[in-house]
Structures are given as structure tokens and as C-alpha cells.
């Protein structure tokens, strides 16, 4: 008698796992990825980045592609740049024992991209940047097949990863979700490139840097994954950046909101925009280490017991500019704030904080949004349209952010933080407590950032760490 099995693929538990650049940087790393994926039948969709850094001062393939694209746009010689990208891929294909055809396909793909129309430089660069993840996904799918695994590469255009058409502000469109959800019904393993999607008219667009995390989250949310695993090169998210604080406390569980605040404020381990799709569909996210997959990692969920740890992490980031505007009787001038912010809106600059007094208001923005010309134009417009007594632009600010769901139920926290900062002798330039009271922000001079972070870490983590 012949037994026939009918597997309802759409009813099986499913995990979407994303492997970051460091996890796919070499053939050895890709072998680890394959071991991790094949060790758990629920790992059905694998989102991959472009090969990242192999050692600390290595260059990511995405950065090599940016150099290549920029050389092509400026009319400079492209061959040396092309060769650097190709040699990264060649090294991986050779070591994995893949057919040389794959290297040739990657070369012809890159040459095709290089010959694209250059009129719109942003479109041209997006297509170049996406070559890293796209070719790596094809290569990794081929390796899965080589070792006998039923795996296929899916292009985001065929998969349904639809995005809007706003360069620099690319977002996924929910209209693509229905098609993406069908990935669940595919048999075998899917290898999906991170970092880019397609507009409705078929134009390729990349997310912001680090955006493969976003792809993973969008796919996980669309297929209704039971878990979104984000594999990187650290055992967990730590309470502070491990490159600044030695052996920081690992975070076992945190909320979406905490991770988003911390990611936005400098925890580069996970992209802040990647939390939203997971949050909307309540998909738990687990940050895990490709080099130590048995470590439990950090679980990101809707709620946690905030009595255990009021402050869960402290992030710091530099690169902020404050535009200080002073005008006597500003408080009586209705619409002053709106008109000031409108200038920034019209320059397409989003602001971070707006600390204010009765006669003054500062707009804090990320310096990278300013060019010299934009800065001059903004200052000129403020003078002309708002007739202030003074406008002062100050660069080189850092923001240090304490984050924790429990902060809103704890008194004296700001005092503890301010006292710790005072011990460093540094000045606090600005304080802002988010309305949700999940974060407390200190604006400081960039040269004081590290010493303040260390002191705050000591205040909020070293004592409890020693106690437990």
C-alpha cells in the first residue's frame, strides 16, 4: 500500500532568519549559516546580507560597490573597484567548491549594472548597492543546493517586496504583503536577498544602510512567522555598546519599544525601522550569534517584567547639530514654532528634539542632513522669515539615551543620571524626557560622550550586576 502525505505547509511553524554581513562574509561563515538553517526544519526563509567585514578594518562589499558606482558616475576608472568586489565573491565561491559559472554570472551581472543609465544617480547607485545582497543570495542558494538541500533564490520583485518611490526614505508598502505571504506555501528553503525592494513600476530601491534587517522583518510579518531570528556576530544585545564598554550586561528580554529607542539612538546591532513590521504583527524577534548559535540571544517581545530592570540600556550617538533661535517675547508670537519647523520640513530635514525656553527654541537634527548650502539657506530663511535676535548653529553634539519601560514608574532616575554625569565634569547641554517616559536623553558635547556613557553605565548597571 502506498502512503501519501499531505503536508499543509501554511500550517507549519515557521521561522524567518536573517544573516547579517558578518555572518556571510566568508565561506566558513556561510557553512555556519547552512548548519544553523539545516539544524531546524522550521527555518524556512533565509534573508541574507552582502558579504560584510571579515576583520575589523576590512571593507564591506556594499561599501566596495558604492566606490565602484561612484567611480562609474564620475567617469573614473572602474576596473580596480570591480576587481575588489569580484575577488570577494570569487574567494567565497572557490572555497565553497561552487562552479566557476557562478563567478562568471556575478561578473556579468555587475557589468550589466555598471552599464545602466546614469542619468538618475540615485537610481544608479541603488542598483549597484543591491548587487551585494542579490548575488550573495544566489550564491548561498546554490551552495544549499550543492549540499543536497531543496533551496531556491527568490528575487524581491517576484516575491512581492513592494516599496514606495521616495529615495532616501524607502519604506515597504503593505500592498505587497499578500504576495509575500505566499512564500509560506513554497516547498523547500527560500533564500531571499535583503536590503532592496521594487516600486510598483518595477524600479529597484534600497533601504537605508543596514536595511537587510528591515527586509527580514517585512518578510517575517507578511508570512506570519512564529519567530524572526536575526543572526549577527554578538551573543546578544548588550546594555551598552560592547565596543565602548567592556563586557556589558547582556539583555535577555526587551520590548519592541525599548529596542526601537535604543537602535535609533545608536545600538547598531539591529535596524530601528525593522521593529515596526514585527511589532504590528506581534512577531517575536530573537537576536542571535552565528558564531555561537546555542547562546539564547536576546528576545524582543511586546511586554517584559520591568520591575527587574528599570533602565534596560544606554545608547550614545554622535553627529548632531543644534540650531538655537532666540527672540524676545517669542512666547507671545503664535505660530513661531510652526513656521520655524516648516523651514526644516521644506528642506526635507526631520528633527530629533526641540528643547525650548520662553524666548528661545533649539532644533536638534542629525548633521548628516545638512550641507553647507542647506545650513546657510536655513539660517538665512530663519533671519528673514522669523526676524529673531540670534541664530546660532552648533555642531558636534552627541545624544546619550537611557531607555527602559520601567523608567516611568521610578522616581529619582533623572537625578541619578545627572549626578553621574556631573562626576565626569562634563556639561549637560540639553535634557529631554520622551512623553512616553521610556527614554531620557542627554545632549552633550561629542568629546564628553564616552566618559559620560561609562559613568552612566557604572551608575545603572555595575551595582546591580555585582549584586545579582
Ligand X SMILES: Nc1ncnc2c1ncn2[C@@H]1O[C@H](COP(=O)(O)OP(=O)(O)O)[C@@H](O)[C@H]1O
Partnered with residue 300 across adjacent β-strands are: 254, 285
Judged by CB under 6 A, the number of residues near ligand PHD is 15
Among ligand PHD, ligand X, none, the one that 194 touches (CB under a kind-dependent 5 to 8 A) is ligand PHD
Q: What is the dihedral of CA 170, 402, 460, 240, to 10 degrees?
A: 20
Q: Which residue is nearest to ligand X (CB)?
A: 20
DSSP letter, residue 238: B
| CA 403 and chain centroid, separation | 18
Residue 394 has φ and ψ, to the nearest 5°, of -125, 125
Residue 458, Cβ density class (10 Å: 0-12 exposed, 13-18 middle, ≥19 buried): middle
Q: Candidates 9-17, 102-110, 209-217, 300-308 — which segment interacts with ligand PHD by CB under 6 A?
A: 209-217
Asked if 224 is part of the footprint of ligand X (rule: CB under 6 A), the reply reads no
Q: Closest Cα partner for 104 from 96, 116, 94?
A: 94
Q: How are strands ordered across the β-sheet holding 360-366?
A: 351-353, 360-366, 313-326, 390-403, 439-445, 430-433
Among residue numbers 4 through 33, which ones bind ligand PHD (CB under 6 A)?
Answer: 20-21
Among ligand PHD, ligand X, none, the one that 62 touches (CB under a kind-dependent 5 to 8 A) is ligand PHD
Q: Which residue has the cell 544566489?
A: 138
Q: Is 320 annotated as a binding residue?
A: no
Cα separation values, 197 from 141, 152, 281, Å: 19, 18, 20
Asked if 22 is part of the footprint of ligand X (rule: CB under 6 A), the reply reads yes
List the one residue from 269, 278, 382, 401 that touches ligand X (CB under 6 A).
269
Q: Is 20 annotated as a binding residue?
A: yes
Asked if 197 is part of the footprint of ligand PHD (rule: CB under 6 A), the reply reads no
Among residue numbers 404 through 423, which ones bind ligand X (CB under 6 A)?
Answer: none
Q: Is 298 annotated as a binding residue?
A: no
Letters for 49-78 (x = contact with ligand X by CB under 6 A, - = none) are x--x--------------------------
Q: Candidates 175-183, 207-215, 247-255, 388-396 — which segment interacts with ligand PHD by CB under 6 A?
A: 207-215
Among ligand PHD, ligand X, none, the one that 233 touches (CB under a kind-dependent 5 to 8 A) is ligand X
DSSP letter, residue 251: P
Closer residue to ligand X (CB): 319 or 337:
319
The answer to whether the beta carbons of residues 327 and 387 sit under 8 Å apart is: yes
Residue 205, Cβ density class (10 Å: 0-12 exposed, 13-18 middle, ≥19 buried): buried
Residue 151 C-beta: closest distance to ligand PHD, Å: 20
Among residue numbers 61 through 120, which ones bind ligand PHD (CB under 6 A)?
Answer: 62
Asked if 49 is part of the footprint of ligand PHD (rule: CB under 6 A), the reply reads yes
Residue 9 has φ and ψ, to the nearest 5°, of -60, -35
Among ligand PHD, ligand X, none, the one that 238 touches (CB under a kind-dependent 5 to 8 A) is ligand X
Q: Where are the alpha helices (DSSP H) in 331-441?
A: 336-346, 372-386, 413-424
Q: Which residue is nearest to ligand PHD (CB)?
A: 21
The answer to whether the beta carbons of residues 301 and 456 sit under 8 Å apart is: no
E strand segments, 123-206: 151-153, 189-193, 196-198, 204-206
Q: Candidates 137-145, 211-219, 403-411, 416-424 — which segment interacts with ligand PHD by CB under 6 A?
A: 211-219
Q: Which spans of this chain sit near ligand X (rule: CB under 6 A)?
A: 20-23, 49, 52, 210, 232-234, 237-238, 240-243, 267-269
Q: Residues forming the annotated binding site for ATP?
A: 18-21, 232-233
Binding region: 18-21, 62, 133, 232-233
Q: Known binding site for substrate: residues?
A: 62, 133
List contacts with ligand PHD (CB under 6 A): 20-21, 49-50, 52, 60, 62, 132, 194-195, 209-213
Amino acid at each position: 500500500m502506498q502512503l501519501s502525505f499531505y503536508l499543509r505547509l501554511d500550517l507549519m511553524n515557521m521561522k524567518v532568519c536573517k544573516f547579517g554581513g558578518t555572518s556571510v562574509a566568508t565561506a566558513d561563515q556561510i557553512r555556519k549559516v547552512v548548519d544553523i538553517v539545516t539544524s531546524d526544519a522550521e527555518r524556512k526563509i533565509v534573508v541574507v546580507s552582502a558579504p560584510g567585514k571579515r576583520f575589523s578594518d576590512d571593507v564591506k562589499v556594499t561599501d566596495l560597490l558604492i566606490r565602484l558606482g561612484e567611480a562609474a558616475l564620475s567617469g573614473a576608472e572602474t576596473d580596480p573597484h570591480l576587481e575588489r568586489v569580484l575577488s570577494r565573491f570569487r574567494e567565497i565561491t572557490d572555497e565553497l567548491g561552487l562552479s566557476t559559472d557562478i563567478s562568471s554570472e556575478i561578473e556579468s551581472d555587475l557589468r550589466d549594472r555598471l552599464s545602466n543609465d546614469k542619468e538618475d544617480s540615485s537610481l544608479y547607485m541603488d542598483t549597484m548597492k543591491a548587487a551585494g545582497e542579490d548575488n550573495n543570495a544566489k550564491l548561498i542558494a546554490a551552495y544549499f543546493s550543492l549540499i543536497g538541500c531543496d533551496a531556491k533564490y527568490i528575487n524581491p520583485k517576484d516575491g512581492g517586496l513592494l516599496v514606495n518611490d521616495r529615495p532616501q526614505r524607502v519604506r515597504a508598502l503593505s500592498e505587497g504583503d499578500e504576495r509575500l505571504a505566499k512564500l509560506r506555501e513554497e516547498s523547500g528553503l527560500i533564500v531571499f536577498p535583503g536590503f532592496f525592494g521594487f516600486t510598483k513600476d518595477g524600479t529597484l530601491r534600497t533601504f537605508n544602510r543596514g536595511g537587510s534587517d528591515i527586509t527580514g522583518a517585512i518578510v517575517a510579518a507578511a508570512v506570519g512567522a512564529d519567530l524572526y531570528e536575526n543572526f549577527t556576530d554578538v551573543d546578544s544585545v548588550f546594555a551598552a555598546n560592547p565596543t565602548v564598554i567592556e563586557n556589558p550586561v547582556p539583555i535577555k528580554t526587551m520590548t519592541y519599544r525599548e529596542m526601537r529607542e535604543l537602535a535609533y539612538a545608536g545600538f547598531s546591532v539591529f535596524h530601528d525601522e525593522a521593529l515596526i513590521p514585527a511589532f504590528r504583527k506581534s512577531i517575536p524577534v530573537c537576536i542571535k550569534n552565528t558564531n555561537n548559535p546555542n547562546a539564547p540571544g536576546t528576545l524582543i517581545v511586546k511586554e517584559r517584567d520591568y520591575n527587574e530592570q528599570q533602565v534596560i540600556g544606554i545608547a550614545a550617538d554622535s553627529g548632531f547639530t543644534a540650531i538655537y533661535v532666540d527672540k524676545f517675547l517669542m512666547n507671545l508670537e503664535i505660530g513661531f514654532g510652526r513656521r520655524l519647523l516648516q523651514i526644516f520640513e521644506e528642506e526635507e530635514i526631520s528633527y530629533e528634539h526641540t528643547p525650548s525656553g520662553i524666548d528661545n527654541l533649539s532644533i536638534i537634527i542629525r548633521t548628516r542632513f545638512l550641507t553647507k548650502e542647506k545650513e546657510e539657506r536655513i539660517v538665512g530663511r530663519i533671519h528673514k522669515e522669523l526676524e529673531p535676535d540670534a541664530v546660532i548653529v552648533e555642531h558636534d553634539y552627541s545624544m546619550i539615551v537611557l531607555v527602559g519601560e520601567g523608567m516611568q514608574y521610578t522616581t529619582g532616575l533623572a537625578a541619578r543620571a545627572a549626578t553621574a554625569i556631573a562626576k565626569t565634569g562634563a556639561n549637560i547641554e540639553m535634557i529631554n524626557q520622551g512623553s512616553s517616559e521610556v527614554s531620557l536623553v542627554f545632549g552633550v558635547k561629542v568629546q564628553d560622550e564616552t566618559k559620560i556613557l561609562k559613568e552612566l553605565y557604572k551608575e545603572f548597571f555595575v551595582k546591580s550586576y555585582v549584586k545579582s
